[in-house]
C-alpha cells in the first residue's frame, strides 16, 4: 500500500495578496506565486476570507477579454454577479460554481452582487483558469451555471464530496470538461476521513478553504494553505482535525506548448498576436461597462 500512496511534495502558504479590480483580493498560488506543475490548471487565484464593508457602488472587475481557456469560479462566502458578451449572466452565491468556457473569445465582467455589496460581509472565492487543448481553443464559448443544490454529491460517513467535475467513487461530476479533470469540494466533519485516488501522472493539489487536515497520516495543512502532490502513486487519505472544507484538484496534463499574454492563453506567440488583433477589431462581441 505504501508504494501506491501519492506523496505530498509541499505544503505551501498563500503568496502575498494583490487586488484584481477593486473587488477581489487574491493570493496567486500559481503560476506566479509558486512554480507548480499543475496543467491543465494554469492559474489559481484564491480570495481568502475577507470582510468587505457595505457600499452602494459594487466593487469588481470591469469588461475584459479571454481566449483559449476556461474560467471556473467557486464561491464560499459572498456573491458575485457575472455578465458576458455571449449573453450569459447570473449570480454566483455561496456553494455555487460558474464554469465559463472562453475558448475562441469572450468579454466578461464580474462585480459583487448588488445586495451583498449594500450589506457587506465575509467574501471568499476561488478562480481557476483551466487550459484547453489546441484543438478546442477556438471552439464556441459556453457557460455552465452550477447551483449549489444541483451539484452532484457523494455521501461519506462523516461528510460529503461535492463532485463539481470528474468522478468520485462512481458519482459523476456536474460540469462537462474538455480533458480528464477532477474538481471536488470536500466538506468533512472533525475526525472524519475520506479516501481519494488519482492516476500517478495527474497533477494534484488541495486548498484548505476552512479548517485543518492531515494527509496520509503525515503532513498537516490548515486554512489557506495548499497541499501539492508528487506525480507518483495514486492513493490519498484526508483526515479532518477540525470541521474542514477542502478544494480538491487533479487533472491529466495537457502536454502542449503554452503562450500566455494577459487574458489570452494559446500555444504559439502568433496566436497571441491574432487574439489581440481580433479583440481590437471587436470580434469578441460587445459588453457594456
Q: How far apart are CA 26 and CA 264, in angstroms?
A: 19
Asked if the model's pLDDT at residue 249 lies above 90, the reply is yes
Cell of 68: 483559449
* 111 belongs to an annotated ligand binding site: no
Residues 137-157: b if buried by 16+ CB within 10 A, e if exposed: beeebebbbbeeeebbbbebe
The percentage of the chain sitting over the pLDDT mark of 70, rounded to a whole number, equals 99
- Mean pLDDT, the chain, rounded, equals 97
What tens digit of pLDDT does each residue of 104-147 get?
A: 999 999 999 999 999 999 999 999 999 999 999 999 999 999 99
Asked if the model's pLDDT at residue 245 lies above 90, the reply is yes
- Average pLDDT of the residues in 244-257: 98
What tens digit of pLDDT does each residue of 9-30 get?
A: 999 999 999 999 999 999 999 9
Strands of 157-231 (E only): list them: 159-165, 167-168, 171-172, 181-188, 193-197, 203-210, 212-215, 219-222, 226-229
Per-residue DSSP letter, 36:
-
Q: What is the pLDDT of residue 1?
A: 46
* 66 belongs to an annotated ligand binding site: yes
Please state, in angstroms and as integers, the Cα–Cα distance from residue 193 to each residue in 14, 187, 231, 240, 244, following that order: 25, 10, 23, 6, 11
**Of 20, 70, 29, 30, which is closest to residue 50 (Cα–Cα)?**
20
- Average pLDDT of the residues in 196-219: 98
Q: How confident is the model at residue 2 (pLDDT cuts 50, 70, 90)?
A: low
What tens digit of pLDDT does each residue of 70-103 get?
A: 999 999 999 999 999 999 999 999 999 999 999 9
Under a CB-based contact definition with an 8 Å cutoff, are residues 275 and 263 in contact? Answer: no
Under CATH, what is the fold of the domain 2-280?
Jelly Rolls (2.60.120)
Q: What is the pLDDT of residue 272?
A: 98
| Cα-Cα-Cα-Cα dihedral sign, residues 31, 33, 227, 225 | negative
| Helix (H), strand (E) at residue 49 | strand 41-52
3-state class (DSSP) for residue 278: helix
Chain Cα centroid distance, residue 202: 16
Q: Residue 15 burial (CB < 10 Å; 0-12/13-18/19+)?
A: middle
* 27 belongs to an annotated ligand binding site: no
Please state, in angstroms and as integers, the Cα–Cα distance from residue 152 to each residue in 97, 166, 175, 193, 264, following that order: 12, 10, 9, 19, 31
* 83 belongs to an annotated ligand binding site: no
Amino acid at each position: 500500500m505504501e508504494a501506491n500512496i501519492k506523496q505530498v511534495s509541499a505544503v505551501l502558504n498563500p503568496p502575498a495578496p494583490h487586488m484584481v479590480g477593486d473587488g477581489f483580493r487574491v493570493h496567486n498560488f500559481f503560476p506566479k506565486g509558486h512554480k507548480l506543475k499543475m496543467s491543465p490548471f494554469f492559474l489559481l487565484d484564491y480570495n481568502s476570507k475577507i470582510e468587505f464593508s457595505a457600499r452602494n457602488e459594487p466593487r469588481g472587475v470591469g469588461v475584459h477579454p479571454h481566449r483559449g481557456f476556461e474560467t471556473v469560479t467557486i464561491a464560499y462566502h459572498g456573491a458575485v454577479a457575472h455578465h458576458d458578451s455571449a449573453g450569459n449572466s447570473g449570480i454566483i452565491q455561496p456553494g455555487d460554481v460558474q464554469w465559463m468556457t472562453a475558448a475562441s473569445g469572450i468579454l466578461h465582467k464580474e462585480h459583487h452582487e448588488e445586495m451583498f455589496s449594500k450589506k457587506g460581509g465575509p467574501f471568499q472565492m476561488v478562480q481557476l483558469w483551466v487550459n484547453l487543448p489546441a484543438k478546442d481553443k477556438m471552439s464556441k464559448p459556453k457557460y455552465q451555471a452550477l447551483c449549489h443544490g444541483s451539484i452532484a454529491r457523494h455521501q461519506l460517513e462523516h461528510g460529503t464530496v461535492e463532485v463539481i467535475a470528474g468522478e468520485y467513487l462512481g458519482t459523476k461530476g456536474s460540469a462537462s470538461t474538455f480533458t480528464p479533470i477532477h474538481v471536488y469540494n470536500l466538506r468533512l466533519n472533525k475526525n472524519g476521513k475520506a479516501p481519494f485516488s488519482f492516476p500517478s501522472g495527474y497533477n494534484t493539489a488541495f486548498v484548505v478553504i476552512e479548517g485543518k487536515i492531515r494527509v496520509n497520516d503525515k503532513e498537516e495543512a490548515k486554512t489557506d494553505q495548499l497541499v501539492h502532490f508528487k506525480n507518483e502513486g495514486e492513493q490519498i487519505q484526508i483526515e479532518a482535525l477540525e470541521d474542514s472544507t477542502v478544494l480538491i484538484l487533479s487533472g491529466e496534463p495537457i502536454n502542449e506548448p503554452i503562450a500566455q499574454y494577459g487574458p489570452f492563453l494559446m500555444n504559439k506567440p502568433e496566436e497571441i498576436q491574432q487574439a489581440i488583433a481580433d479583440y481590437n477589431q471587436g470580434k469578441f462581441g460587445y459588453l457594456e461597462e
